[in-house]
């Protein structure tokens, strides 16, 4: 089978590797669609494991199941999670599924014609797709689930003021989700095209980051934000997050700068104002299920975010589009076209 092997963002090669055979409780799935995630292009995060096959936002079709597997069958259309928690350790019992240290097995990278699905993911990380949910739409299940979890941790609710800093794909999903939950959303980015899309996605106002974001936010929303969601690694956005949160509010750190960049938190000021800072990394089984329901019901539309669909042979071009960020939102690789 063919895979797209990532050495770095400028060196991505399509290579031939043996097609795996499923064990008794495993299954082999044909990758139909796989999105390029913003984290896929973060080299400081990925390079220590290079070369590797990336890709973790996928929809697939089961083609072969192990001899002892009855839960799924060939032909099933499925969403596959990149990794699953054990559901039993103290972290899982407290709802900290991403912090589970018991299960370490991951789904192989899905910029490939096929993936071998480990038993743990077969059992707890595979969802059947409703007939009307397309493979392209299923690539949004995991990233939307991450937004679902972050907004739940932030206790976001109807009527709140929300600022989304960074209108890449994840930021725009946050805009759509917060708007669907009744929040008044303001979005900020440096890209005018993404700001225009944010307005279509439900943002009541948009702010170009070249402006004074806190001042414009107060003018547009009448006050600072109850919830600030940081969806970009730009240091200027981190500084804006501290200045844009209202008293008693919450800053959600959804994206982070590189580890070499020091960040100063105005702790004394936040102590007096009772500001909450929380981080949100990945998601868990309840979030996948809620995300799929949101997409299947049409409550969160995702088709309008797809700007490019490419074959496996053009994975490098897909990464270029994501890195450039000017003309793309969601770039999807279809390995079997």
Sign of CA dihedral 46, 47, 49, 54: positive
Q: What span, in angstroms and rounded, lies between the C-alpha atoms of 239 and 153?
A: 22
2-8 and 330-334 beta bridge pairing: unpaired
Cβ atoms of residues 149 and 283 within 8 Å: yes
Q: What span, in angstroms and rounded, lies between the C-alpha atoms of 193 and 70?
A: 47
User: Which residues neighbour 298 within 8 Å (Cβ) at sequence distance 6 or greater?
Assistant: none
Residue 105 pLDDT: 86
Q: Which residue has the higher pLDDT, 260 or 149?
A: 149
Q: Element (H or E) spanning 13, and its range? A: strand 11-16
Give whole-number Cα distances, 333 to 24, 37, 218, 231, in Å: 30, 11, 41, 23
| Mean pLDDT, residues 202-225 | 95
Residue 181 pLDDT: 97
Residue 101 pLDDT: 87
Longest CA span, the chain: 63
289-304 confidence digits (pLDDT tens): 999 999 999 999 999 9
Closest by CA to 141, choosing from 251, 13, 295, 258, is 295
Query: For residue 210, what is the DSSP state?
Result: T
Name the percent of the chain lying above pLDDT 90: 95
Give whole-number Cα distances, 137 to 31, 57, 130, 270, 315, in Å: 13, 10, 11, 40, 19
Q: What span, in angstroms and rounded, lies between the C-alpha atoms of 141 and 282?
A: 12
Q: What span, in angstroms and rounded, lies between the C-alpha atoms of 185 and 188?
A: 10
Residue 177 pLDDT: 98
Residue 327 pLDDT: 87
Q: What span, in angstroms and rounded, lies between the C-alpha atoms of 38 and 130?
A: 27
What does the angle CA 117 – CA 25 – CA 127 come to, to the nearest 5 degrees? Answer: 50
Residue 99 pLDDT: 94
20-40 confidence digits (pLDDT tens): 999 999 999 999 999 999 999
Three-state secondary structure call for residue 89: coil
79-97 confidence digits (pLDDT tens): 999 999 999 999 999 999 9
Cβ atoms of residues 86 and 92 within 8 Å: yes
Give whole-number Cα distances, 309 to 21, 61, 201, 328, 329, in Å: 28, 18, 21, 11, 11
Residue 48 pLDDT: 93
The residue whose two tokens read 């809620």 is 290
| Mean pLDDT, residues 203-216 | 96
Residue 47 pLDDT: 92
Res. 326: pLDDT tops 90: no
Residue 189 pLDDT: 97
Q: What span, in angstroms and rounded, lies between the C-alpha atoms of 101 and 209?
A: 38
Residue 114 pLDDT: 98
Q: From the CB of residue 74, how many other CB atoms can be counted at a distance below 10 Å?
A: 13
Enumerate domains of the chain plus CATH numbers. 2-144+283-334 (3.90.180.10), 155-279 (3.40.50.720)
Q: From the CB of residue 301, how many other CB atoms can be counted at a distance below 10 Å?
A: 14
Token pair for 182: 């009744």
| Mean pLDDT, residues 240-257 | 97
Mean pLDDT of the chain: 96
Helical spans, DSSP H, in the chain: 43-46, 90-93, 119-124, 135-138, 141-153, 169-180, 192-200, 213-221, 235-244, 267-273, 285-297, 315-324
């Amino acid at each position: 089978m063919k895979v797209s092997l990532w050495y770095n963002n400028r060196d991505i090669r399509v290579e031939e590797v043996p097609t795996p055979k499923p064990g008794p409780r495993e299954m082999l799935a044909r990758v139909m669609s796989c999105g390029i995630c913003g984290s896929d292009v973060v080299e400081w995060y990925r390079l220590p494991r290079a070369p590797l096959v990336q890709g973790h936002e996928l929809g697939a079709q089961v083609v072969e199941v192990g001899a002892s597997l009855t839960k799924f069958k060939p032909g099933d259309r499925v969403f596959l999670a990149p990794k699953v928690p054990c559901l039993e350790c103290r972290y899982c019992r407290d709802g900290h599924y991403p912090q589970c240290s018991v299960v370490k097995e991951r789904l192989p990278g899905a910029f490939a014609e096929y993936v071998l699905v480990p038993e743990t993911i077969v059992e707890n990380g595979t969802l059947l797709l409703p007939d009307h949910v397309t493979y392209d739409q299923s690539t949004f299940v995991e990233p939307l689930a991450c937004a679902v979890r972050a907004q739940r941790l932030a206790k976001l609710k109807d009527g709140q003021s929300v600022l989304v800093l960074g209108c890449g794909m994840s930021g725009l999903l946050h805009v759509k989700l917060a708007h669907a939950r009744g929040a008044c959303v303001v979005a900020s980015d440096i890209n005018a095209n993404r700001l225009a899309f944010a307005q279509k996605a439900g943002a009541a106002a948009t702010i170009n980051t070249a402006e004074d974001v806190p001042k414009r936010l107060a003018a547009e929303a009448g006050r600072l934000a109850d919830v600030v969601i940081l969806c970009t690694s730009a240091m200027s956005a981190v500084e804006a997050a501290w200045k844009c949160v209202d008293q008693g509010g919450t800053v959600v750190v959804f994206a982070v700068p590189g580890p070499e960049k020091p960040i100063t938190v105005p702790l004394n000021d936040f102590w007096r104002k009772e500001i909450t800072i929380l981080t949100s990394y990945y998601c868990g089984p309840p979030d996948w299920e809620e995300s799929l329901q949101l997409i299947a019901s049409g409550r969160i539309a995702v088709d309008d975010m797809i700007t490019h669909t490419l074959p496996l042979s053009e994975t490098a071009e897909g990464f270029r589009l994501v890195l450039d960020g000017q003309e793309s939102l969601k770039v999807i690789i279809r390995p079997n076209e």
